[in-house]
Structure 1
Amino acid sequence: MSSTLMATDGLELLASAVLLLDPQGRIVYVNPAAENLLESSCKILIGQKLEELFSNGELLAALFQQALAHQFDDVRQDLILERFGRESLWVDSITTALDHAATPVLIELRENVQQLKLEREERLMDQSQVNKELIRNLAHEIKNPLGGIRGAAQLLELELPERHLKELREYTQVIIKEADRLQTLVDRLLAPHRLAHIVGDVNIHEVCERVRSLIVAEFPVGLTIKRDYDLSIPQFRGDKEQLIQAVLNIAHNAAQALSERIQAGDAELIFQTRVLRQVTLSKVRYRLALDLHIIDNGPGIPVDIQERIFYPLVSGREGGSGLGLTLAQTFVQQHMGVIECESQPGCTDFRVLIPLP
């Protein structure tokens, strides 16, 4: 046992997850990185077999048996490990046969970040397409009867008896005003599908500066806006007004989420631009891409809606329409790009990626 412990001393510091298995395929050691990756403590993991960790654990179990039989020294594979009741893990695995009786096999797992990113982007694209169809159909279903309701209320108002006109007109006006409010909502839902795509040369810093001036005008005190621009970013072909609206929707949401910090006087919003090289967006490889970050130091997005913030009518703010981020994602995707988000208390980072020429 002491030799096993000695062999694991250096494994504690590795960033990749390491599992040591006994001849029966049971885990006898996991390093801290494995505990983090598998979201379980060593006390829970030690003694378990691979089949007990993953619903498709037979994939790793087969590699274990081959290593145990010394069919190879080590073998690498990309695997999707399906966990019970949790999100699947995309990993690069290395199975190594060891010359050690107590722990004859070592398995190393490294999370495949690139594959996770591709899967997330694909999910966003699929979700966006579903959203578009849902919004378009829902908006048209609402729009047609809405006009009839408003027209009927106007006709009813004309037929009201003079002696009760004042008190009854109040009710018909409620109907008309609410119909107008819903009409405005429907128009916003349909806007990205109806407006023409006006293409021209776009300077992303002009877009950011336009948005910055609008935010400063609305929140002149208590909010500091910092700029961290890479001025070497080239112009690209796109719809400037759509991109202004997309960035404004993100920045305005951030400013509203910063309300408490604005009152305290320490609210901060950062516009940061960079160039990324060799980027894959929607399964297409681009030589260059714009990497725009809009970062705030607010309370963060509630965990329960982080995966759904780009869905229509999902809002983390009371009174929010839940359309701003949906429209922003739609506008950016029309430029072959995508918006990603990472959020925790004290830092929310919206990342806009768009291909560059």
Structure 2
Amino acid sequence: MSDFVQDFVTVIPAGGVGSRLWPLSQPHRPKFLLDLLGTGRTLIQDTVDRVLPLSERVVIVTGERHAAGVGAQVPEVPEANLVTEPSPRDSMAAIALAAALIEERWGPQIMGSFAADHIIPDSAAFRETVAQAAAAARLGKVVTIGITPTEPSTAFGYIEMGDELDGAARHVTAFTEKPDADTAAGMLARGGFVWNAGMFVMRTDVLLGHLDRLQPALAGGVREIAAAWDSEARAEVLARVWPTLTKIAIDHAIAEPVAAEGGVAVVPASFEWHDVGDFDSLGELSGAGGEPVAIGRAAAVGTVGARGAIVVGGTKPVVVVGVDDAVVVESDEAILVTVRSAAQRVKDAAGSLPSTM
């Protein structure tokens, strides 16, 4: 119980498909339900394992079509704590609904929001950082956990850190959207910047109070839905109100404007963190180098004059000839052939197929 945080509820937003991991990830089989590293645990299972020691309560927000899959994979989370969205309305609506429902059921609590599809090998260090963030959240701050950059990446947003606040926390000066390579390099050279991993810890009353000011229609909507959630009126209220909620990310709705007011803090994290967003990052995490890497398959992989191949899925032997950093992926639906340098373009792959496919 040493990791237990008093009055804490973990919220896991489990949304998105992971289009850059097509054809492994599909609308009916999103990224967080996959065992990407061949460990025997999917990303959402690993996330739940990581957060369970923090509190007695875990709430998962996911799409209606994924609820059955989530429930089957994480039976330790009560069915009543699986909050289903009729349609995607971006991260703010999902997190705000969870906050409003938490208050309806248990009163004001400290909530931590952690995505279902991140990889954090050191669970103990993660929980220690969350406890530090919770301490800052008790002071009324919206707290984010920042990842120490390992390179001038253009794939993540950045957080500029200001003066020390209390304990490990520091004031947030500003959030920066995903920068170009030169800007990212300049940030790292100046120091004082961390990656924005989208992890937030705050009191539910603080979050909803900011929403009342900044997004009043959204705040009123999620409160109405939460009030009806555990009643027979849920379906009617959800169908009527949910489509009217503003579609906006928590960064734009809360983090950026509240940071400008001095209300956001950051706890820099020392733990290893990965957002496996494409096959290039999957290859890096899997140790792809000179020898080929095989994931989720028992059949042989061979190469001729080719280095760094990644072969995922499939039951037949695969040989890569003369193509460095090749990526070959087979699922029940399709086969993908690309190279790691083109990994970001995979998001357009499914749309390139004829509609009859």
Using structure 1 for the length normalisation, give the TM-score: 0.19
**Larger relative contact order, structure 1 or 2 (CA cutoff 8 Å, min sep 6):** 2
Using structure 2 for the length normalisation, give the TM-score: 0.19
Point out the structure with max Rg over C-alpha.
1
